[in-house]
Chains A and B, each alone.
Chain A
Amino acid sequence: MESRTPQTPAELEALGVSEAEIDERLEQQHHDAAFATLRAGLQTLWGEIDDDFEDRSVRRVRERLLNREALATLGDLLGLGLHAGRVLFAAGEAPEE
């Protein structure tokens, strides 16, 4: 089984690494030319957003909210004691015998 990544300063110190050393290594990585290439790769994988994303999201969120509102309304109706078959029938489904 894979070992757990050390998470606390105490765990790090147990491994002989201080928080100051981690800071220093992070800074080195930040200025590492090779990491600029990696960052460009991450940008390609995660960063690009197509022009239609916003419109698409707004439309889908609206649809999903409306569906949830419809479900909530159905739930309210059922909660009022109306027969489920009548509600489904009203929604376009054939009622069960």
Chain B
Amino acid sequence: MLRLARSIVAGDQDLAEEIVQESLIKIWRGLHTYRGEAPIEHWIMRVTHNTAVSTLRARREDPWDPTELPEREVVSAERSALAREDLRALTVAVRELDELSRAILALREMEGMSYEEIAETLEVSVGVVKIRLFRARARLREELDLEQ
């Protein structure tokens, strides 16, 4: 849940944690609405995704400043396989992706879900998942290559 929330809010740790907490509350209160038609993990991820997207939309008027990166990202850069500047470029690049593409990337690359599972979780078609994933990967690679 935290990984997915982080991806959608593009790395803002505090906001991602708020979203996880809000999602847990929704899940707690809405458990009786879970119909059991899909694995519960997918339902939990869908609640998390929807909460993250609605939270971001509510904050849309607060523009993001690309020169300001959350402190915790900078700290973890010290432990990354990527150079600090490459990690910064990646941070900027993922923020420029749309929210759906970031969520798809997270579910595929972090959670190892299949295209079909991602489609079911995010309630989009398998075609959308494939296209967004392809475009997102290509865009990120292009952005990093520019920095190397």
Mutual binders A and B: yes
Closest residue of chain A to B16, judged by CB? A46
Smallest distance from the beta carbon of B60 to chain A beta carbons, Å?
16
Of A6, A22, A41, the contact of B87 (CB 8 Å cutoff): A41
Interface status of A23 (Cβ within 8 A of chain B): yes
A5→B132 CA distance, assembly (Å): 8
8 A Cβ contacts from A37-85 to B: 37-49, 53, 56-57, 60-61, 64-65, 68
How many chain A residues touch B (Cβ–Cβ < 8 Å)? 36
Q: Is the interface of B mostly helix, strand, loop or mixed?
A: helix
Closest residue of chain B to A59, judged by CB? B21
How many chain B residues touch A (Cβ–Cβ < 8 Å)? 44
Is the beta-carbon distance between B110 and A29 smaller than 8 angstroms? no
What are the residues of chain A within 8 A of B82 when measuring CB–CB?
37, 40-41, 44
Of B76, B105, B140, the contact of A44 (CB 8 Å cutoff): B76
Smallest distance from the beta carbon of B48 to chain A beta carbons, Å?
12
Of A6, A37, A43, A56, the contact of B110 (CB 8 Å cutoff): A43
